Amino acid sequence: MTVSDACKLLCFSSCALVCLSTSGRNVLIMTCDTTAKLNGKVVVVTGGSSGMGFEAAKNLASRGARVIIASRNETKLKAAQDQIIEATGNQNVAYKTVDLGSLKSVRNLASELNSEDQINVLINNAGAVALPDKLTADDLNLTMQVNYFGAFLLTFLLLPKLKASAPSRIVNGIGGAMYFGEINFDHWNDIGRYNIITALGTSKLAVDLFNAELDTRLKNTGVTVNGYDPFVVRDTSILANIPGIVQHVSKFFINIIGRRKEDVGREIAYLASAPEMESVSGNLYKFCYPFKNHWLVNDRELTRRLWEESKKAVKIDKNEDWEVNDV
């Protein structure tokens, strides 16, 4: 990250946090919860080894679900598994390693997960901020691949299992940065085109449009899809890639007005488990409320094209393409 990019991120963080803390003061204290039990259900949480993903996984394990957490670092995954088992008494907690910056790794994870008897909930929580501006081995922009293409590929490959396990749910992490993004299919994997704010925003906007297209395509299948905007969350590793002073100042603001990761984890678990959410789909939630979504989610031509362009980007082959094979 350049000094210029770091300064842009600091200015963005400062302005956004101050504005949101003022406008959202009455809803910051809102939490949602449910007494739902999930015995016999299988839940997958990406980014489940730390932060709000870990808290969501722990919450869902406490409800009796078989919980599978997935992230890159096996050491952290093992520690998280042990902590969840100790906290909940639920021994049915497993972990899988995955690097969302590698299509091969995501395909390997999908293959392992498809060996499960069922998958009732998929939570696409993993994401990163301020990644290097470079291409991956798959010739995709790193930020786009980690924050969007990896989740798209995993979801696409698991959809037949999710449909067979219906009623089932998909919960996607989105984020307010989407309002700073843009979708240009000719340039969304370019290097040197976007600053870190636009790159992050574009990846999150893609997830939001994906969420909308999924909702349309999953009508009458028994699979619902909703998104959540965590706002800003204290005590997570999301700022790990941000350099020194910018990271410290950002943490200062976040610690003042940010949400507790336990509260965000509870909100994610609510979307994944609450009986009253079983037939609710296509919404974005923030502070436990349905929240005004990006205006582009209503552009059906755009969301349809995003779906097709994403399939090309992650190189869905004829054997994987259940849309063709199911015809």
Decide if 302 is inside a domain. Answer: yes
| Averaged confidence pLDDT in the chain | 89
Residue 247, Cβ density class (10 Å: 0-12 exposed, 13-18 middle, ≥19 buried): middle
The whole-number pLDDT of residue 292 equals 87
Per-residue pLDDT, 20: 47
Q: Would the pLDDT of 17 be above 60?
A: no
Q: What is the mean pLDDT of residues 120-134?
A: 94
In a domain, 254, yes or no: yes
**Is there a domain that residue 83 lies in?**
yes
Report if residue 29 sits inside a domain. no
User: What is the CATH number for 304?
Assistant: 3.40.50.720
| 255 band by pLDDT with thresholds 50, 70 and 90 | low
Would you tell me how many other CB atoms lie within 10 Å of the CB of residue 278? 14
Stretch 235-252: mean pLDDT: 58
27 within a domain of the structure (yes/no): no
Q: Residue ranges of the alpha helices (H) in the chain?
A: 3-23, 51-61, 74-88, 103-113, 142-144, 150-164, 196-217, 244-257, 261-273, 300-313, 322-325
Q: Provide the pLDDT for residue 27.
A: 45
State the residue range of the domain holding 7: 3-22+35-325
Q: Is residue 48 part of a domain?
A: yes
pLDDT at 244 over 50: yes
pLDDT digits (tens, 9 = 90+) for 185-202: 999 999 999 888 899 999
pLDDT tens readout for residues 276-311 = 999 999 999 998 899 989 999 999 999 999 999 999
Q: Is the pLDDT of residue 118 over 80?
A: yes
- What pLDDT band is residue 256 in, cutting at 50, 70 and 90? low
pLDDT, residue 32, reads: 87
Average pLDDT over residues 169-180: 94
Q: Report, as an integer, the average pLDDT of 179-187.
A: 96
User: pLDDT-derived band of residue 26, with 50, 70 and 90 as boundaries?
Assistant: very low
Mean pLDDT of all residues in 239-268: 70
Q: So what's the pLDDT on residue 22?
A: 41
pLDDT band at 233 (very low <50, low <70, confident <90, very high): low
pLDDT tens sequence across 51-85: 999 999 999 999 999 999 999 999 999 999 999 99
Q: What's the confidence (pLDDT) of residue 19?
A: 47
The pLDDT confidence band at residue 252, using thresholds 50, 70 and 90, is low
Does residue 242 have a pLDDT over 90?
A: no
Amino acid at 173: G
User: Count of domains in the chain?
Assistant: 1
Residue 220 lies in a domain: yes
Domain presence at residue 28: no
Record the tokens describing residue 126, joined without a space. Answer: 């993993």
Residue 100 pLDDT grade (very low, low, confident, very high; cuts 50, 70, 90)? very high
Percent of the chain with pLDDT over 70: 81
**In whole angstroms, what is the distance from residue 210 CA to residue 201 CA?**
14
Please state, in angstroms and rounded to a whole number, the distance separating the CA atoms of residues 206 and 226.
14
pLDDT reading at 93 higher than 60: yes
State how far the Cα of 286 lies from the Cα of 284, in Å rounded to an integer. Answer: 7
